[in-house]
Chain A
């Protein structure tokens, strides 16, 4: 009897399997299978990365783990989370063992205050007052939320919001934490912060973690294993192969614009946050030369978006002035492309400004082809993936033939393929002699495409340099030799080839 007990105790950690899938298939109603004959085993306590292209079914698979979120469709084979089998019958039932965090920090928050957000899940479960207080206090302490516990959720930064989402789920004491692109909307610092918290949950609290991501190189150090989902099947991936390369990233510009007429200029502008006297920009200046790509970099809340809007003439500075010679011929790509979509289908969206701008059907079809949207023309823009939405928005703007393009985080949250499509289009746009101002956290993008970089810090333009000068002695702001950079290299070869032989 005693020995038997000892045996199970000894064996338990070795054999405990958090997720087990065997010949598991899933298909949406009237569609071909998204997942087919998939096998998967995640040992308890592991930190697994899941990669795969957009539309490979990562989200579907992850949602199937939490029956409350599992999509409608037919499934065959076995999917088990510990000893609970995920069958069609249990769809819609909530399993407290599985925590789920998705991409958007804003849309995941339910309540107006931080404390209520933390308590929300516990309230749903009808947990008594004492337990609830204990758990809320515990997670608030663990994640260091005490200092902003009494704040309203709309006062938080994106990073804080996402951390709050994680904490609110952790208050429910899940044993498995499933995350779908949790850091896609975060800036690099907030991303690191979030990953640290995730790492601590995994190693200190022993929670099994599965993360789907487009950006594995940031997470490699935390992970214990990685898998890739393609053609409906999972295959193992070597963690080391996911690390960023070491070769330097070279600019793709044929000739960097050094001097030229100034297209857009801001002179000592000051702008404050709405309804406050706190200044976002404090006597900030900027000169953008015609035909150049000017990148704005800096931490979260340093005023990059505010400066872009001021240049576009939609935010009036309290002091100073903006001269924009392209004021009537500009286009602005916001952080969230949804604010640009008005129509019910992708095709209508691309045709929307056809009368006003006089482009032909061939023009917009060419853009749809270039961004692989031809098969999506009938879909609603909101049904596209994040990357496709971004490409659609960019195509829509470029069709208006603006002479000035203002881009706010054009590659944020995109997979390498989508990011390189966007970057390629922007490159072609600049090479044609147009001007662009880009606010971004993506240093690789800056190194590849920019003529000038302005670092915004403390409300001012701290310095303006060429990318080579700027990246010469930085330790954190650094272009990475990631998949995006490697894809862009091929793009540039293809471009050069096309140009040489035309």
Chain B
């Protein structure tokens, strides 16, 4: 885990992109299963079995829906499972649907796995060199969203806490407070929607006001001073990183060739034809590498 966290974010991003692209291109049972298993074990490594189980517990339903839908709507194949009226349902069609479903789950899993490693900061570090302004926008948004949410909560709490303004209408103040509750004037109470609208308008005003101050602070630190902005590189791209990247690229190439070759030999319809070949080994390596790196870091 630590090893992966310290890996240069560019390698992480490239590797994730490679895995996702290959998984999506290779729609055949062996690749899909390899990708799914790789994602599952990797997820367990970076997030723990419990959390991984929690994440995928509803996914079988998704797979079932896709598989059934394909079975119902596509009547291709040769191995007839059953027949309703004149309509035949085929095994190949079911398998195709299953593959689609599992592939979808695998891709979701890979995204979920990598999102624990690829923080917004790392994405920004990679983008920083290509698009400095985009990078600074991302970092500002990453700061503003939690602030926006916090301020929204604050406003909600403050408005709710000022109950005297919402409850007591035309009440003599000498009356003991706890007797008021039954005689509230409903007409003057805020309806929930206007209450929300009010909160949003406060939030907007407050945020805009704050952003003016932030803009001043940016100017005070020379925003727009140099014609070309530079980016502080937190992660140094070292020789070893270049070697890693090259190795990854070679692996992608091998897998790509494998997918192209296997893709010609494999077809779902009319009959499933899984031909075992050496090319699968490369894909297995590709999907295992993240797990192996994590495990090696633990030993």
Contact = CB atoms under 8 A, between A and B. Distances in A.
B174 to A, nearest CB: 10
The residue among B158, B181, B201, B229 with the most chain A CB atoms within 10 A of its own CB is B158
A342 B198 contact: yes
Interface in A385-421: 397, 400-403, 406
A328 B161 contact: no
Contacts of B157: 309, 312, 314-315
A196 interface: no
Interface stretch (A28-36, A116-124, A205-213, A365-373): A116-124
Interface stretch (B69-77, B202-210, B242-250, B280-288): B202-210
B161 A406 contact: yes
B278 interface: no
B217 A108 contact: yes
B177 interface: yes
A429 interface: no
A121 B230 contact: no
Given A121-B221, A169-B221, A342-B202, A334 B230 contact: no
A289 interface: no
Given A122-B232, A154-B147, A353 B222 contact: no
Contacts of B209: 338, 382
Contacts of B168: 328-329, 356-357, 400-401
B162 A400 contact: yes
A169 B162 CA distance: 40
Contacts of B232: 115-116, 119, 122-123, 129, 132-133, 136
Contacts, number: 213
B139 interface: yes
Nearest to A311: B161
Contacts of A340: 158, 162, 202
A110 interface: yes
B289 to A, nearest CB: 27
B177 A403 contact: yes
Contact of A325 (B120, B178, B217): B178
Contact of A124 (B160, B185, B211, B224): B224
B139 A113 contact: yes
Given A121-B221, A126-B228, A136-B232, A111 B143 contact: yes
Nearest to A355: B188
Interface string A322-333: 000111111110
Contacts of A96: 222, 225
Given A315-B157, A332-B161, A334-B154, A94 B205 contact: no
8 contacts: A69-B220, A101-B220, A102-B213, A125-B226, A327-B163, A340-B158, A353-B165, A400-B162
Interface of A: 66, 68-69, 94, 96, 99-102, 104, 106-113, 115-116, 119-129, 132-133, 136, 153-154, 165, 168-169, 172, 309, 312-315, 325-332, 334, 336, 338-342, 352-353, 355-358, 382, 397, 400-403, 406
Nearest 7 A/B pairs, CB to CB: A126-B226, A332-B161, A119-B232, A121-B221, A402-B164, A107-B213, A312-B161
